[in-house]
Amino acid sequence: MLIKIYPENPNERAIEQVVDVLKKGGVIIYPTDTIYGLGCDITNPKAIEKICRIRGIKPEKANFSFICHDLKHIADYIKPIDNTTFRVLKKALPGPFTFIFNANNNVPKLLSSNKKTVGIRVPDNNIARCIVKELGNPILSTSIKDDDDVIEYSTDPELIHEKYENLVDLVIDGGYGDNEASTVIDCTTGEFEVIREGKGNIEEYL
């Protein structure tokens, strides 16, 4: 199923429809402020396993991130951070960053069996954040890689739908996506270590 949602003013009914799919263990493809993501409810082990099958990866080895609504939401899943880190997050988010933190015990066991860290995102995209707010907890997310050697990420939601319609429950058309992923920053030591350069420039917020 492909549904159109406008990022400037997401339709409440459409958001509720997406959340209903997630609550029933569905897997969705949705827009962010960078590339389109593959997501599910983090509290649903079967949905997480389904995403792993689609991507061909094992849950305990996967580098998933949590899409959160705001900074308060982040605190539910990570160990306490210092004031300096918090100030940087406050300036940089919502934005095109994935911050890696030490995970606390709220991170689902399926995901943290071998990992003590979690990637956190608060995308500057109303659709993604409205979904998370309505759902009441983060969505687990991974990027959609393209098979094309030239284009790493699919940007056209209709083409994404054609490719994935038999694998996922719902694709959201939120307009063309970007083909540049988020900048990934490791904050587990209290420093800001860029481990993947992407759309965001953390230097602007340090």
Side-chain-facing half-sphere of 164: CA atoms under 13 Å: 32
Flag whether pLDDT at 129 surpasses 70: yes
CA distances from 187 to 2, 66, 119 (A): 37, 15, 10
| pTM check: above 0.75 | yes
C-alpha gyration radius of the chain: 16
- Mean residue pLDDT of the chain comes to 90
> How far, in Å, CA of 25 to CA of 159, rounded?
24
93-97, 115-119, 187-191, range with the lowest pLDDT: 115-119
Flag whether pLDDT at 115 surpasses 70: no
pLDDT tens string 68-88 = 999 888 888 999 999 999 999
Flag whether pLDDT at 182 surpasses 80: yes
Q: How confident is the model at residue 150 (pLDDT cuts 50, 70, 90)?
A: very low
CA distances from 116 to 41, 103, 154 (A): 20, 5, 31
What does the buried/exposed string (b/e) look like for 40-79 if buried means 16 or more CB atoms within 10 Å of the residue's CB? bbbbbbebbebbbebeeeebeebebbbbbbeeebbbebbe
Q: Decide the pairing of beta strands 193-196 and 117-121.
A: unpaired
CA distances from 72 to 79, 119, 134, 151 (A): 13, 15, 15, 35
The dotted CATH code for 2-204 is: 3.90.870.10
Mean predicted confidence (pLDDT) in 172-200: 93
